[in-house]
Amino acid sequence: MESKRVAVGLSGGVDSAVTALLLKQEGYDVEGIFMKNWDEDDDTEYCTAIQDYEDAQRVADELDIPLHAINFAAEYWDSVFEDFLSDYAAGRTPNPDVLCNRNIKFAVFQDYAEMRGADWIATGHYARLKPDSHPIELHRADDLDKDQTYFLQAVSIERFERCLFPLANLTKETVRTTAKRHSLHVYAKKDSTGICFIGERRFSDFLNRYLPKDPGPIVDVDGTNVGEHTGLAYYTLGQRQGLGIGGLRDAAEAPWYVMRKRIETNELVVTQDQSQLQASRLLAEEPNWFIGDPSRIVRCEAMVRYRSVPKPCTIETNGTEVKVLFDGPQRAITPGQYVAFYSGTRCLGGAKIRKVVDK
């Protein structure tokens, strides 16, 4: 009989709690593992790790399963946070959640769980695996509003072979109802937003601790100076709020949007014409594929941000790069973020956006 010992990444939230509950009901030998990925130091008022651990321990007690806590803060710093800072310093907008899944949850955590004797790992991700396929297939969850395959696109395909995603066919409402019905105290706990080390504070205050501010001009598409920015790292493409532009002579009353970052001149380019935020071509790097021969893919769908709708496109890959041409323009394609590729519900893989080819 195949062993059914499973380590659940128990985060203190409702999704991982119901994940553990469902697996226990299916007869698995369940152990909870709480991952601490950030050393708070003086950040305890912002980071919820202490409360999350207390919630995870209480869930483990409610389910009568063991809980083990492990600190991966050093690994997180080396394989996620340093890239996070490097991308911001280069004017890109990184996605640490993608890196955390690839380098921590489905690498360091999985190795640690197996070292402790687990045959499987499980998480509260909303995604579906088809393990009987060769190679294994990753598909979107039934609840498309919560689907998290976008964040799983960079995980090595072999890492999914011993993974379980029990929430694949559940809606968030069903998860909360299930938790309440089984007296799990986190049934109404608010979903976490953002990443722990930023928490509820102003992002600019946090980033200033690690990257020095480098003020420079804000210019319109004609090169006219319309203001001053605090540092290119503090802005993202398509951003509307916090630009501090107003009351300009001969300018329309329409809002301003970040259109481009010129690293070489330290200029932030803005526009009042939203059509100038649109682009249909991008070049991506560091591709990761869940299929045998990606060169056979010519037509598929792709999304350039979480919770967007996959849009039809044509792609060309040469092994290290992927050229993407969308059938229609996409808004604010952002270097440093990721593009995920799909065929229907199946996630084919993804790549890191290097640059927008046209505007």
Residues that are catalytic: 100, 196
- The encoded tokens of residue 316 equal 């060309």
Q: Alpha-carbon distance 160 to 5, whole Å?
A: 16
- Report CA dihedral (40, 211, 236, 312) to the nearest 10 degrees: -70
Listed residue (191, 176, 188, 195) closest to 80, CA to CA:
195
Q: Which of 226, 252, 256, 229 is nearest to 241 (CA)?
A: 256
Beta strands in 172-277 (DSSP E): 216-219, 225-229, 257-262, 267-271
Q: Does residue 140 contact residue 345 with C-beta atoms inside 8 Å?
A: yes
The Cα 67–Cα 18 span in angstroms is 15
Output the CA–CA distances (angstroms, integers) from residue 116 to 23, 32, 111, 112, in the order listed. Answer: 18, 12, 9, 6
Dihedral angle sign, alpha carbons of residues 76, 157, 4, 14: positive
Is 180 buried (19+), middle (13-18) or exposed (0-12) by CB count in 10 A?
middle
- Any idea which residue has 């999914």 for tokens? 160
| 3-class secondary-structure state, position 274 | helix
